[in-house]
């Protein structure tokens, strides 16, 4: 899945994977899977996700009918950092945010 949003191209095949997270398995209605990417040149972050009919990726397919879906969403650096803090181990993503990390 690649998209052009606000004049910027987001292509998972050419971007660097920062990390991924998922819940359950693809047969479960609550299933979801997300991968955070960073573009090689501009360093923009974007999230590619998919999920079942009871996930945030659900889409309406008829009256009172839902199906799984997918989406690509650009994220600013602060939101990408927050996503990493909530979904990944620190060692998996620290190199992408070195300037934003402060020692306690």
Name the residue ranges covered by the structural domains of the chain.
3-96
Q: Does 52 have pLDDT greater than 60?
A: yes
Percent of the chain with pLDDT over 90: 79
User: Residue 104 has what pLDDT?
Assistant: 45
Write out the two tokens for 87: 């979904």
Beta bridge partners of residue 75, listed in sequence order: 45
Contact 77/101 with Cβ under 8 angstroms? no
Segment 4-11 shows an average pLDDT of 95
pTM value surpassing 0.95: no
User: Residue 101 has what pLDDT?
Assistant: 59
């Amino acid at each position: 899945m690649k998209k052009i949003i606000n004049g910027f191209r987001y292509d998972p095949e050419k971007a660097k994977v920062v990390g991924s997270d998922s819940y359950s398995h693809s047969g479960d209605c609550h299933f979801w899977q997300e991968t955070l990417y960073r573009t090689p040149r501009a360093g923009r972050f974007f999230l590619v996700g998919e999920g079942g009919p009871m996930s945030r990726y659900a889409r309406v397919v008829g009256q009172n009918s839902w199906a799984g879906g997918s989406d690509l969403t650009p994220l600013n650096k602060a939101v990408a950092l927050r996503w990493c803090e909530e979904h990944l181990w620190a060692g998996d993503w620290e190199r992408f945010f070195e300037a934003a990390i402060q020692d306690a």
